Structures are given as structure tokens and as C-alpha cells.
Amino acid sequence: MLKKGCIQLGCLSVFAAAIISGCGSSSTPAPVDAKSTGATQSTDKKLRIAFIPKGATHEFWKAMEAGARKAAEENNVELLWKSALKEDDRAEQVKVVENFTNEKVDGIVLAPLDENALTSPSKEAMNAGIPVLIVDSGLKGLEPVSFIATDNYQAGKECGEQLAKAVGAKAKVVLLRYQEGSASTMAREQGFLDAAKEKGLEVVSSEQYGGATRESAQSASENLIARFKSGDGLTIKGIFTPNESTAFGMMRALQTAQLLGKVTLVGFDSSKELLDSVKKGDIEGLMLQDPFKMGYLGVTNMVKHIKGEKLEAKVNSGSVFVTKANIDSDSVKALLPKN
């Protein structure tokens, strides 16, 4: 019995030694932590990228979503698209960012409603190891993996120059602002005001805000029109509106007052109704951004970042000033929503 046990024990010892020898081979590399090296994540895992726009109702955001979904399909990404119910609900957008951070998504693409309010939750996401890429409107005190947007100041300045060209020097004009805290529209408004000053325009009102909806913008527009109405016309020659809701609200208010086409209106962004008014010559022009491209690059570049590719810190997504003369051109058609 003793002899047989010794033989069995000896066999086991030899078998164990063979296993240890094979596993300890110096030719086998040690495991590498992908996160510590910036290496590409396993292709077995489908990336989950959260995309948080400012809103969902404006044509601008619908076009951005179309671009984001196209990029998600091309890159085999699960796109989690979610916005606050109202485009002025900063607290709700903060919660959306916080919820996606808790869900540990692979990346967040954010169009912040407020340049200050969204900084802290974005930092928390990045501290949790979730990269944040910003589109459309900037944040203060945060260095995202990349920032993709229109050159809003320059675009606003061009709108001011176009309005001055249409109404002439020393003409009285008004600015209907969008809402406080929105970095993109604030930059456009400042660009417009600087151009107006350079061109000798007299800005007789620049303190009114249209707000996040077409309805609130129309109400604010009606108040402005009443303020400057004189007989069957207005004492002002031109108006600038820095986004789709303010442009649409002002167009409707002018239509109601039977003044559309009698005062020069320059706006920002588009909708079918706004573009139709440009074609008719009732609106002088619109500055069109490329929201489809913003959405597409937002997702595409986030995937590149996660895979370890270096991104440009700032990407200008481009814009074109649209008038009756060029509305049917290829450069304009390229900026219209893709179906």
C-alpha cells in the first residue's frame, strides 16, 4: 500500500511541475491594462455613447440627431440620445449628465444649455473616467476631449455686416437675444453688436430675450414691434435674431402685424417656414450652421478618442449665410437636414 501511494504521489508531482514550467515561460507577456496605456478597448464590447443636446423640438436638434445616428450606425455604437423636456431647463440637463455618469457609459457628447451650470457635472463625469466631448456651445472651466461648433462670434459678426449692407449706415436696428447663459448665442450676439458698431448702425434695443420656445419668442417679438411701431410701419430698419426660435417668433410677429418684408430681418438657423420666407424675399437672410455634421463628428470623434486617437481641441463645423440669391445652391443644400 505504501509503495503504491508513493508512486501516485510521484506522478502527481511530475504533472504539477510540468504545468508550472509551461505557465512560467518567459516568452509569454504579462497582461496589460488597456486604460493605463490608452489602448483600444475590446472589440467584443459595443460602445455606449450618450448624446445630450440642448433640446429636441427645434429643427436644429433633429438634424444633429440624424448625424449622430448615422455615425453610430457606421461605428456599431449604441447611441443614447436624451435631452431635457424644455430647452431652458438647466437642472434637468444636469440630471441627465449625472444619470449617464452613474450608468458608466463609455462617453458623453454634450451640447450644454448653460456655460456655467453644466461644468461641474461634466467634470464629475471626466473624473469618473468618462470622456466628455462638447458640441455647439462651450463650457467655462472645462477642457473636453474636443469642442465641435460653429465659429459663433464670426458668424454673428457676418450677420451684422449683412444687415448693415441691406439697411445702410446709421440705420436704427434691434437685437432680440435668445437666453442668458447660452454661450453659442451670446457669442453671436456679441459678434453682431461689434459689427453694428463698426458699420455705424444704431442699436436701439438689445436687452430683450426671446427665450427657448417659438411661443415665448413670438411674444417678446410682438412687444418689440409694439414699442417701435409708428403708423403702418416701424421706426427701425432692421432686426437680428440669433437662433431658430427667435427667428421664427419674430417672423410670425411681423406676419401678424403685416410687416414681414417691410423691415429687414436677418436670422440664424433654419426651418421650412423660415427658408420659404427667404425664397419669397420676406427675410433678408439666415446664417445656416451644420448641425448634421456636429452630430456626426460628435459620435465619430468620441469613438476615435476611446480608441486612443488624438483629436483636435477645436473643430469649426462651418456655416453659410443664405439669401434668396443662393438658397438653391449646392453649398446651402448641403446644410439642410438629411433624411
pLDDT digits (tens, 9 = 90+) for 153-204: 999 999 999 999 999 989 999 999 999 999 999 999 999 999 999 999 999 9
Q: What's the rounded Cα separation, in Å, for the pair 313 and 294?
A: 14
Average pLDDT, the chain: 88
User: Mutual orientation of helices 119-127 and 90-102 as an angle, nearest 10°?
Assistant: 0
Q: Which CATH architecture has domain 48-150+291-318?
A: 3-Layer(aba) Sandwich (3.40)
Q: What's the rounded Cα separation, in Å, for the pair 159 and 285?
A: 8
More confident residue, 24 or 151: 151
Using the CB atoms, write b or e for 78-106: b if 16+ within 10 Å: ebbbebbebbbbbeebbebbeebbeeebb
Above 70 in pLDDT, residue 3?
Answer: no
Listed by start position, the domains of the chain span 48-150+291-318, 152-288
pLDDT of amino acid 159: 98
Q: What's the rounded Cα separation, in Å, for the pair 207 and 97?
A: 31
Above 50 in pLDDT, residue 96?
Answer: yes
Find, among 119, 118, 117, 109, the residue nearest to 142 by Cα.
119
Above 60 in pLDDT, residue 331?
Answer: yes
pLDDT of amino acid 337: 59
pTM of the model: 0.82
Fold of 152-288: Rossmann fold (3.40.50)
- First CA to last CA across the chain, in angstroms? 83
Q: What is the mean pLDDT of the segment spanning 218-244? A: 96
Rg of the chain in Å (alpha carbons): 28
Instruction: Express as a percent the part of the chain with pLDDT over 70.
Output: 86
Q: What is the mean pLDDT of the segment spanning 97-105? A: 98
Q: What is the mean pLDDT of the segment spanning 246-272? A: 97
pLDDT confidence bin for 260, thresholds 50/70/90: very high
The DSSP annotation for 243-257 comes to: SHHHHHHHHHHHHHT
Q: Do domains 48-150+291-318 and 152-288 have the same CATH topology?
A: yes
Above 80 in pLDDT, residue 300?
Answer: yes
pLDDT of amino acid 338: 54
Q: What's the rounded Cα separation, in Å, for the pair 334 and 243?
A: 19
Is residue 187 classed as helix, strand or coil in its secondary structure?
helix
Question: Which grid cell is 247?
Answer: 427667428
Residue 7, class by beta-carbon neighbours within 10 Å (0-12 exposed, 13-18 middle, 19+ buried)?
exposed
pLDDT of amino acid 157: 98
pLDDT digits (tens, 9 = 90+) for 108-118: 999 999 999 99
Fill in the amino acid letter for 31: P
